[in-house]
Structure 1
Amino acid sequence: MNNDTRMYREAAQAPEVVRRQTESNAASLRALGEKLRERAPRAVVTCARGSSDHAATFARYLIETHLGILTSSASPSLSSVYETDTNLADAVFLVISQSGKSPDLLAAAERAKASGAYVVALCNTPDAPLTKLAHHSIDLRAGAETSVAATKSYIASLSAIIHVVAEWTRNQELIAALAAAPAQLQQAWAADWSAAIPHLRSAINLFVVGRGYGLGIAQEAALKFKETSGLHAEGFSSAEVQHGPMALVRAGFPVLAFSQSDETRKGIETLAKDFLGRSATVLLAGGNAPGAVQLPVVAAHPVIEPMLMILSFYRMVASLAIARGFDPDVPPHLRKVTETV
């Protein structure tokens, strides 16, 4: 699956990005962890667009499972369009953005700050307006990313979120798992998912499913199928897909399922068998279902595994795009930075 696209080259940098970020941000995030313990927020509100919003989905599951704090997503248009003030006193407002300059995110962060929220920004542009507005800014340290499709910056967002929660909870198991992640990411980059390409080269529609920590990467993979390969894909929770969406499944309908090694695995495997029983084509990353196309995964802490699987996916989808006649670096009708209002 070799190619020379910018997307491919930039995704390959993810292991070093995570290593650099974790080491460089250690002192800053220890301080943030102490500040968050002192503040004891009643809620966390995330705010993001696109791939960053998929990272926010991951953050919601990680924060709620490890801290028991209600975490919800804010709609930026409430601030930028409707000019609505929401009471966010005693809340953490977590903003995730590559550029840190989208007007709607800035408006949302500014109103959140004015209402009493503690604003934390994850940003890949250190001197962006968002970093200056936030109470605490975390540099993603992904470096320049010129391909329109975000790859290493998305993985950098996931690793930064894990680092925040690990320090907030003083969870040494998570801290150790994050320290091991760069080497595991290198293994994940080498994992060969090319077996998926023949099943997706001529596909028109696709389901991508995950659950818990894996839902955010299912959403992210669905977006990447659309923007790099012109493939209509929808990301679903493995629970939600069993409702209305299941009616679309026919013989040969492709399904990509992500399954990290936690309490959600049994349900993903059962769902995969159900899809196979309907003669769907199931591409399974993690777990086992006889008849599925098994995609190799690197075993790790279940919080880390989604980050590894999405990197293996990026390598595959960059090559799928070429196989489908697309340039993954220049998707039609898209720009690298979309400044929504």
Structure 2
Amino acid sequence: MSDSLMLQECLEAPSVIRRQLRANAEPAARLVEALRLRPPAFAATVARGSSDHACTVLKYATESTLGLPVVSLSPSLYTLGQTRLRLAGALVIAVSQSGASPDVVQTLRQAREDGALTVALVNVEESELARAAEFVLPLHCGEERAVAATKSYLASLAAFLPVLSALKSDATLSQALEHLPERLEETLLLSPEAHALAERYRFAENLLVLARGLHFGVAQEAALKLKEICGIHAEGYSTAEFEHGPKRLLAEGLPLLGFQSNDSAAKSLEGAYATLVAGGADLRTIGPAAHQVGAHLRTPGTGHPLTDVLPSTLAFYLFAERLASVRGLNPDQPALLQKVTKTL
């Protein structure tokens, strides 16, 4: 039996990131120069689906690194509401695999017309989105054939990190990026552990995915993938927000999947997970600190919190691909979905 397209593209992740880091050195340097000459008052992101979840990670990364506030734009304000926001002097970042969704393209185009410094993180370099942006950081994924985005999401997580590293003069992040492809290669060796974890959720109908800080966008992405390819109703929550109502669902016996981290949220996560387990919650964790509570899938540490999210995500993808298979589903043919979704 041949590997699924999803798994094949997961296996490409180390080479994708290695290629991206090499090929984007000059475009990233030009963007850094522009940001130093035109320092933005705030930043905004525009994206849909998995790309929007990458933007959640980008928000935490940018705010924690530069102290620059980041908001998420609503594309429908431009396309349906005919509203133009005051974005002059802002940094506006659009993220997309295809660069073809009209709402994302129009939002970025109008932001540029209004005086924003616009950047596209996009895989298709000849796309409308790339043409609309002032600066482009290509994802360099090659063709992504699986409906469920994997290597493009991982590439979206990495593409802006060299810019943050240069703006902050962060030698530790620079070194972590240099060795990131090797850490992703190590992550691919976790397939047996990922498969064992998948067996645990073979018959799950609902699943709550928890995280905090940099990994919150990964939890959002995980919940989406569980819906897309596994047919499981899943929702991603910050552990802080989980306390404000959703925790009630534990009384119905819903299982939990938690992402661990080595960032500023690590201590809070450890305490929250310990409390949940002590209260009888069914919790398994993924991440570089997964040995702490409910350990089942410990990922390689990368030497920096901003890069740690990539092995965590890749390990989850190995788990999700296997979970779809043991549930008798084809991860490459999710019901009712197609690769490119164009929304207005």
**TM exceeding 0.5:** yes
Q: What one-letter code is carried by the residue in structure 1 that aligns with 2:310?
A: M
Q: Which runs of 5+ in 1 are unaligned?
A: none
Matches within 5 A, 1:89-128: 89-128=88-127
Q: What one-letter code is carried by the residue in structure 1 that aligns with 2:336?
A: H
CA deviation vs aligned residue, 1:60-91 (integer Å, no higher than 9, x gap):
01111111111000000000110101100100
Query: In structure 1, the residue corresponding to 2:31 is in which secondary structure?
Result: helix
In structure 2, the residue matched to 1:281 is 282
CA deviation vs aligned residue, 1:26-68 (integer Å, no higher than 9, x gap):
1110111111111110010000000000110011011111111
Separation of aligned partners in 2, 1:323 and 1:293: 21
CA deviation vs aligned residue, 1:115-159 (integer Å, no higher than 9, x gap):
111110000001001111110011100111110000000000011
Separation of aligned partners in 2, 1:291 and 1:28: 41
Change (3 A) 1:198 1:153: same
Measure how far apart 1:3 and its partner are.
6.3
Measure how far apart 1:292 and its partner are.
1.9
Q: What one-letter code is carried by the residue in structure 2 that aligns with 1:94?
A: I
| 1:181 maps to 2:183 | no
Q: Which runs of 5+ in 2 are unaligned?
A: none
Measure how far apart 1:112 and its partner are.
0.8
Q: Is the 8 A contact 1:272 1:289 kept in 2?
A: no
Change (3 A) 1:319 1:289: closer
Measure how far apart 1:294 and its partner are.
2.5
Q: Is the 8 A contact 1:125 1:139 kept in 2?
A: yes
Measure how far apart 1:194 and its partner are.
2.3
Matches within 5 A, 1:1-341: 4-191=3-190, 192-250=193-251, 252-286=253-287, 287=289, 292-300=294-302, 301-341=304-344
Q: What one-letter code is carried by the residue in structure 2 that aligns with 1:155?
A: L
Q: Is the 8 A contact 1:46 1:74 kept in 2?
A: yes
Q: Is the 8 A contact 2:123 2:139 kept in 1?
A: yes
Q: What one-letter code is carried by the residue in structure 2 that aligns with 1:25?
A: N
Separation of aligned partners in 2, 1:183 and 1:291: 26
Query: In structure 1, the residue corresponding to 2:333 is in which secondary structure?
Result: coil
Separation of aligned partners in 2, 1:97 and 1:62: 18
Q: What one-letter code is carried by the residue in structure 2 that aligns with 1:279?
A: G
Measure how far apart 1:173 and its partner are.
1.8
Separation of aligned partners in 2, 1:282 and 1:293: 9
Q: Is the 8 A contact 1:93 1:118 kept in 2?
A: yes
Measure how far apart 1:177 and its partner are.
0.9
Q: What is the aligned-residue identity percentage?
A: 39
Separation of aligned partners in 2, 1:327 and 1:335: 14
TM-score where L is the length of structure 1: 0.96
Query: In structure 2, the residue corresponding to 1:120 is in which secondary structure?
Result: strand
Separation of aligned partners in 2, 1:131 and 1:167: 23
Separation of aligned partners in 1, 2:286 and 2:325: 22
Separation of aligned partners in 2, 1:312 and 1:7: 13
Separation of aligned partners in 1, 2:291 and 2:180: 27
Query: In structure 2, the residue corresponding to 1:303 is in which secondary structure?
Result: helix
CA RMSD of aligned residues (A): 1.5
Of 243-252 and 147-156, the range deviating more from structure 2: 243-252
How many residues are paired up?
Answer: 340
Q: Is the 8 A contact 1:259 1:265 kept in 2?
A: yes
Q: Is the 8 A contact 2:286 2:316 kept in 1?
A: no
Q: Is the 8 A contact 2:6 2:321 kept in 1?
A: yes
Separation of aligned partners in 1, 2:85 and 2:306: 31
Measure how far apart 1:291 and its partner are.
6.8
